[in-house]
């Protein structure tokens, strides 16, 4: 394939790339497309730590959790069809068009999934009014929550559809991009040529982002990372609420709730060598727990990648790259929760973690923001959250800084596009997928 020219080269094969490629081929099966993916095929994406039950991350050259066919699409598979959260697609696409794009995303998911998992709507007028009266905001969405196993099947089916219609190169990283008459894409071993190039590398490929910003001199905005605590408490506290609305998402000033798992479990996730507390849906485990878990996030903004990296490294070192566990009452009283107390605790933690003090990890603004959000939840729903609620530090959401693009996701360099989370304008599965579908007609003209 060396020295061959393609109509379109897509760099990265995450969610946005999968939906873009599917839409392109569905409308023109003669178009010549090459996809270059840093990671592996979906069936080969196994984390050594999880697969071999190892205690620590093996620091693989290419992380199979983050990279490979479908990117983070192989995770919990929660598609929130809303512009209230999950990115800034509404800054590029108007509201009516976004709604149509979401419908198209869901029709493709429905086409490729084998098992049924129904679409639901979290909207509740009473909750909206209550949150507003408490000085907060309730966020709503139409949601299709597939779960990890169904997501895996969906993207395997998408791969089976694409593999004979487009060229896909795995385990290959783009090192350099040059434009003269057309584009030349340099990897370690080859050079590929194309009339149009689309970057769809997701949030985690910093080397590609550096290539866009530094090598191609495309402007970008501030760097952001959201850090939070995973909350685990008695599901009975929320049972009446869950019967009415299924789940909730509350925003208060800088803090917001995220990824609610009724009857679910708290599990470890390794995000770029950061050991984090994540939530797992009970459907993935086969059994229900007596708990509910969700995260409360707080944003941190930086002027440079160096500042962001320094912050994250200090955060990891302060936790000794472990997940810290502490009860709500002990956080308030600034004391460590001992293992002995945890064993007697009314709420049993579903994840073994390191006994520490979250007050020693974060500043007062962060801790006060978390505590204020818990108070808001209590006021909005007229409940009392158990003082023996378990808090895990920390959960983490990384964002790409926004890349300079126009209303078609085209950069200042003609025929060079950036879509999905890589663009900085989406940070959810639904919006990433929608951006790929949105771009397809422009490329086909």
In terms of domains, do 180 and 294 share one?
A: no
| pLDDT score at 54 | 60
In terms of domains, do 427 and 360 share one?
A: no
In terms of domains, do 296 and 192 share one?
A: no
In terms of domains, do 208 and 268 share one?
A: no
Check whether 1 has a pLDDT greater than 70: no
130 belongs to a structural domain: no
381 belongs to a structural domain: yes
Structure tokens at 422: 């890589």
The 10s digit of each residue's pLDDT in 232-269 is 999 999 998 888 887 889 999 989 999 899 999 999 88
In terms of domains, do 205 and 69 share one?
A: yes
198 belongs to a structural domain: yes
Q: The CATH number of the domain where 88 resides is what?
A: 3.50.50.60
Select the more confidently predicted residue: 434 or 248.
434
139 belongs to a structural domain: no
Select the more confidently predicted residue: 325 or 61.
325
| pLDDT score at 134 | 96
In terms of domains, do 228 and 156 share one?
A: no
- Domain hosting 110: range is 5-118+146-220+402-444
| Domain-terminating residue out of 363, 381, 398 | 398
The 10s digit of each residue's pLDDT in 81-133 is 999 999 999 999 998 999 999 999 999 999 998 767 678 888 889 999 999 99
**Domain count of the fold of the chain:** 2
What does residue 414 show for φ and ψ, rounded to 5 degrees?
A: -55, 135
| pLDDT score at 437 | 98
The 10s digit of each residue's pLDDT in 193-212 is 999 999 999 876 666 667 77
Select the more confidently predicted residue: 403 or 36.
36
The 10s digit of each residue's pLDDT in 394-433 is 999 888 888 889 999 999 999 999 999 989 899 899 999 9
Confidence of residue 314 (pLDDT cuts 50, 70, 90): very high
Average pLDDT for residues 157-182, to the nearest whole number?
94
Which CA distances in Å does 66 have to 22, 31, 77, 379?
Answer: 21, 29, 14, 38
| pLDDT score at 370 | 97
Helix, strand, coil % over all residues of the chain, rounded to 5: 35, 25, 35
132 belongs to a structural domain: no
How many whole angstroms separate alpha carbon 316 and alpha carbon 239? 35
228 belongs to a structural domain: yes
Check whether 364 has a pLDDT greater than 60: yes
In terms of domains, do 435 and 305 share one?
A: no
Average pLDDT, the chain: 90
Residue with the two structure tokens 């459907």: 283
Least-confidence region, from 152-161, 191-200, 224-233, 246-255? 246-255
Strand residue runs (E) in 89-201: 119-121, 137-138, 142-145, 167-169, 174-179, 183-187, 191-199
Select the more confidently predicted residue: 421 or 286.
421
Tell me what percent of the residues of the chain surpass a pLDDT of 70.
94
Nearest residue to 380 via CA among 216, 261, 250, 293: 250
| pLDDT score at 2 | 57
Half-sphere exposure of 388 (CA within 13 A, CB side): 13
| pLDDT score at 403 | 87
């Amino acid at each position: 394939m060396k020295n061959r020219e393609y109509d379109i080269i897509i760099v990265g094969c995450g969610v946005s790339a999968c939906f873009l490629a599917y839409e392109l081929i569905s409308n023109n099966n003669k178009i010549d497309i090459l996809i270059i993916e840093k990671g592996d095929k979906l069936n080969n994406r196994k984390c050594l730590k999880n697969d071999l039950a190892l205690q620590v991350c093996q620091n693989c050259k290419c992380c199979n959790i983050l990279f490979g066919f479908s990117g983070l699409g192989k995770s919990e598979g929660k598609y929130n069809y809303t512009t209230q959260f999950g990115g800034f697609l509404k800054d590029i696409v108007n509201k009516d068009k976004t709604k149509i794009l979401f419908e198209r995303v869901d029709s493709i998911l429905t086409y490729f999934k084998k098992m049924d998992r129904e679409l639901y709507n979290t909207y509740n007028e009473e909750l909206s009014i209550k949150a507003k009266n408490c000085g907060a905001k309730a966020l709503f969405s139409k949601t299709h929550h597939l779960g990890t196993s169904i997501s895996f099947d969906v993207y395997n089916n998408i791969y089976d559809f694409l593999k004979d219609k487009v060229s896909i190169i795995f385990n290959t990283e783009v090192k350099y991009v040059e434009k003269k008459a057309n584009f030349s894409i340099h990897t370690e071993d080859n050079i590929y040529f194309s009339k149009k190039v689309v970057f769809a590398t997701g949030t985690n490929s910093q080397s590609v982002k550096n290539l866009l910003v530094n090598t191609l001199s495309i402007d970008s905005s501030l760097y952001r990372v959201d850090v939070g605590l995973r909350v685990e408490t008695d599901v009975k506290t929320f049972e009446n609420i869950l019967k009415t609305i299924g789940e909730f998402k509350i925003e208060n000033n800088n803090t917001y709730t995220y990824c609610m798992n009724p009857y679910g479990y708290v599990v470890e996730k390794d995000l770029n060598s950061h050991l984090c507390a994540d939530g797992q849906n009970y459907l993935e485990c086969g059994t229900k727990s007596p708990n509910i878990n969700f995260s409360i996030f707080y944003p941190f903004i930086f002027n440079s990648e160096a500042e962001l990296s320094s912050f994250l490294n200090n955060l990891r070192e302060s936790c000794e790259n472990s997940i810290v566990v502490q009860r709500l009452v002990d956080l308030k009283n600034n004391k460590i929760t001992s293992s002995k107390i945890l064993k007697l605790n009314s709420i049993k933690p579903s994840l073994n973690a390191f006994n520490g003090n979250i007050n020693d990890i974060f500043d007062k603004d962060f801790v006060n923001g978390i505590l204020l959000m818990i108070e808001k939840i209590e006021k909005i729903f007229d409940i009392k959250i158990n003082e023996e609620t378990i808090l895990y530090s920390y959960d983490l959401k990384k964002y790409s800084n926004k890349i300079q693009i126009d209303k078609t996701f085209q950069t200042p360099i003609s025929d060079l596009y950036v879509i999905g989370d890589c663009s900085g304008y989406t940070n959810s599965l639904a919006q990433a997928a929608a951006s790929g579908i949105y771009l397809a007609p422009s490329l086909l003209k």
